[in-house]
Amino acid sequence: MTPATAPPAPGARNTRTAATRAAITAAAERLFAERGVSAVSNRQVGEAAGQANNTAVAYHFGTKTDLIRAIIRNHAQDIEARRAPMLESVRGSADIRDWIRCLVLPSTEHFAALGTPSWYARFNAQVMTDPALRALIYEDALASASLQETLQGLRATAGAIPPRIRRTRADMARQLLVHMCSERERDLALTAAGTADPGQQHWAGAPVDGDAGTWAELSADLVDALTGLWTAPVTR
């Protein structure tokens, strides 16, 4: 064991730095998810991460935007790793469902793998709703070769759709994916914590049975719905 007064060995310092960075991103993800990005300061993130020094976030990440980019990158790796083998198996497919599965499942399976409670789906929804920050998610989408290949597959199999409507449908798919996952994550967390409100009536009038539904069920429902959305006849 290194005595407390000696400078830490380089390996120990790297380990500690990595642990501090992980504590900061975890705290930021949760706070941004629960309160919204603009409502949380870097100082609050540092405090929640157990950092006595109130410039810890700036020291380890830079600006709040840099911190958000780092959180997105943390998760993007696993999502990419899930999409790559799926793409291998559908390459050349003329079935649009195959491509929609490549769009949806890498995210829903990533969220499922995070366990309950998780915060990244809600973090994503907050970032998407912030006009300035949404660009970070779009940067990430443009930088992902596997996502762009998936979208090309969708374009190739969706039939003749005018480019502007195709773009609008891609936006719809993204909004649905982000916001439905955010809701599912929240419902699962409330149910797990025993704080779901079983007496609550669904806004569309049907009673709520207190079962949040699984990630696998949401995956299946999104794939069905997006297949319908993407192949719907264009009437204008």
Binding residues for a copy of itself (CB under 8 A): 34-39, 125-126, 129-131, 137-138, 141-142, 148, 151-152, 163-172, 174-176, 179-180, 182-183, 186, 201-206, 208-209, 211, 213, 217-218, 220-221, 223-236
Q: What are phi and psi of 210, to 5 degrees?
A: 80, 0
Which of residues 59 and 138 has its CB atom nearest to a copy of itself in the complex? 138
Q: What are phi and psi of 130, to 5 degrees?
A: -95, 115
DSSP string, 34-98: HH-STT--HHHHHHHTT-SSTTHHHHHH-SHHHHHHHHHHHHHHHHHHHHHHHHHHHTT---HHH
- Compute the distance between CA of residue 38 and CA of residue 25 in angstroms, rounded to an integer: 16
Which of residues 43 and 174 has its CB atom nearest to a copy of itself in the complex? 174
Which of residues 66 and 217 has its CB atom nearest to a copy of itself in the complex? 217
The CA R_g of the chain, rounded to the nearest whole Å, is: 21
Supply the minimum distance, in Å, between the C-beta of residue 166 and a copy of itself.
Answer: 7
Which of residues 56 and 223 has its CB atom nearest to a copy of itself in the complex? 223
Supply the minimum distance, in Å, between the C-beta of residue 12 and a copy of itself.
Answer: 40
Residues 6+ apart with CB under 8 A from 25: 67, 70, 71, 74
Which of residues 50 and 207 has its CB atom nearest to a copy of itself in the complex? 207
Supply the minimum distance, in Å, between the C-beta of residue 43 and a copy of itself.
Answer: 15
Supply the minimum distance, in Å, between the C-beta of residue 39 and a copy of itself.
Answer: 4
Supply the minimum distance, in Å, between the C-beta of residue 8 and a copy of itself.
Answer: 39
